[in-house]
A and B are shown apart, each in its own frame.
Chain A
């Protein structure tokens, strides 16, 4: 197959395909802009006098007037790392979007196979499709960076700019991002296409969501033990020991990600005992396939931990110290970190919804059968909402409390725990409430995006699907 043939077949034609490509382009564009920003901030360290060269595209100097995290060389690597880490959830969403199928896409791929395309050619078509969307994203990265610069750089008053002025070297960075995103899109598209088996009679998905077993339970218990051990050693050991802190963080992550699917499955089983039909359906689906919800609940719990830690630290800052001019430094830093966590949280929720649209595609025959049996579409939509929200609010609230308790235990001196906890109670409660509302809003808002996919899945035509 020539490239022209692959381009012809990779062209997104249905509205679902166009949405998918747009999502990939947008997310890679944002990730690309973050990469350009990270490179730009890192490059400040190369300037001998800390200021930008005089040939900036936008006539502003480099580190003058920047927030201290960026202008101070010692803090800059942390900011660069933070910006790079922020690309991870955004790229995860791009991959999730690539994984999403649609009825129209499945039909198209199986028709192409029937016309004689080999499995390798189908993967090449998928790679070109993803590469095209990612290339568009790479091209968007430059303009997105400029928008970010205006929003985070030029608009705030002097002394608060986050991003340095773009200059000509950034054009090279942008070019590198375009090449990287194109290559990344081609590779990711080809790899994601391996997840499905396309034959001339239809498309099957390789993934099988099985309930978590004993291994997951053992890993959860072991990591819980690691967490308790780590916290104890941090409390009792010498202050300069870094290993227990790493143990605490790693154990927490492993425990949460290994244990979340089982916890979500249990919540699903509980929901399935409901007398309400929508809740019953949602509960059964979650209990049968808890991994997707479980992964998102784990991310939300980790976000909650970050919020809980911040709530205690901010409460402590405001209570204990007279910050004076340093207020913007400390509180600004917390605000930035919180913004990063909110982005990760929003991406996790959207990822869940994107994943659910794929699940709808897989379940289109039974869904069409339910519709044919007389179940209202509104009922199915309510059930979908219940399914997507299972475990999410609980995870973020639990995470907030866990983070608050954890950090209080770590920072409180002997006999000061109850005093510290009492002081943190109000900010932690407020944070838990706000994050719970935010997640609920995000989940319900995102679930509305599934209406089209649900309508397509319940189409009586799907009763013919094997």
Chain B
């Protein structure tokens, strides 16, 4: 069996998805190469988040094909898709979605703990990321006590702790002020570029989108325009 070609980080071909009668994606095709940063933009309800959830394998599309790092998600069961996500894909959602009763350190260490690392090793790796995102002073704070910005920074650390090849971020700066958003984005993009990871940024913010290599604009569930920014 040949190893999957990982030059293309994410590939969506003719993806269709609907929530009951509401059609969210109508034949969306998108390709993101390794090391590339792509912004997916568009008005509310255009299908941006659905596209990201489909690309992450969280939602199974009702039509079309999705490949992550050369693997067709239709060939993978739920457990295999989760393991692929855990080891190779980092996800940041708008509100962080940290486990509220765990400390910040354990939240960041969680993907490693789930992967069978011993607690000391997982926490050591997590502590390194907390230093990078400037939360080393909050390591033992329950995540429920963090501010919105701190929670997002912890979520970024959690997404990057496994050294993913793909980072998917849904409105990562949506709950932050302009300066905080800029700092978070700097951190996320720098860490991804260091590793040559592909990044998909779902955003409605033009400033955030301008940081990407390419912008894909969705409208009513289909790709309306694509523009190379750098």
A interface list, Cβ under 8 A from B? 1-2, 4-5, 8-9, 11, 13-14, 104, 107-108, 110-121, 199-201
Contacts and interface: CB of A to CB of B under 8 A. Distances in A.
A1 B100 contact: no
A121 B115 CA distance: 10
B100 A111 contact: yes
A351 B118 CA distance: 40
B114 A111 contact: no
Interface string B99-119: 111100011001101111011
B101 A115 contact: no
Given A1-B114, A112-B110, A201-B53, A118 B78 contact: yes
Interface of B: 53, 56, 58, 78-79, 82-83, 85-87, 91, 93, 97-102, 106-107, 110-111, 113-116, 118-119, 158, 162
A4 B120 CA distance: 11
A9 B91 contact: no
Nearest to B57: A200
Contacts of A107: 100
Given A112-B99, A116-B114, 6 more contacts: A2-B119, A4-B113, A14-B100, A111-B100, A118-B79, A200-B97
A115 B158 contact: yes
A202 B226 CA distance: 32
A31 B102 CA distance: 33
Given A1-B114, A4-B119, A8-B102, A110 B97 contact: yes
A115 B116 contact: no
Contacts of A11: 101
Nearest to A17: B101
Contacts of B116: 1-2
Q: What DSSP secondary structure best describes chain A's contact surface?
A: helix
Closest 4 CB pairs of A and B: A116-B86, A13-B101, A5-B113, A115-B110
B116 to A, nearest CB: 6
B158 to A, nearest CB: 6
A4 B78 CA distance: 24
B78 A9 contact: no
Given A118-B79, A119-B78, A13 B111 contact: no
Contacts of B93: 114
A28 B99 CA distance: 29
Nearest to A1: B114
Contacts of A200: 56, 58, 91, 97
Contacts of A5: 113-114, 119
Contacts of B119: 2, 4-5, 8
Contact of B82 (A9, A110, A117): A117
A201 to B, nearest CB: 6
28 contacts: A1-B115, A2-B116, A2-B118, A2-B119, A4-B113, A5-B113, A5-B114, A108-B99, A108-B101, A111-B98, A112-B110, A112-B114, A115-B86, A115-B110, A115-B111, A115-B158, A116-B86, A116-B87, A116-B110, A116-B111, A116-B114, A116-B115, A117-B86, A118-B79, A118-B82, A119-B82, A120-B79, A199-B58
Nearest to A104: B100
A2 B113 contact: yes
A262 B97 CA distance: 42
Most chain B CB within a 10 A radius of its CB, from A111, A115, A121, A199:
A115
A108 B101 CA distance: 8
Nearest to B122: A5
A355 to B, nearest CB: 25
B6 to A, nearest CB: 19
Contact of A121 (B87, B102, B114): B114
A289 to B, nearest CB: 20
B99 A111 contact: yes
Contacts of B82: 113, 116-119
Nearest to A121: B114
Nearest to A13: B101
B114 A117 contact: yes
A108 to B, nearest CB: 5
A114 B91 contact: yes
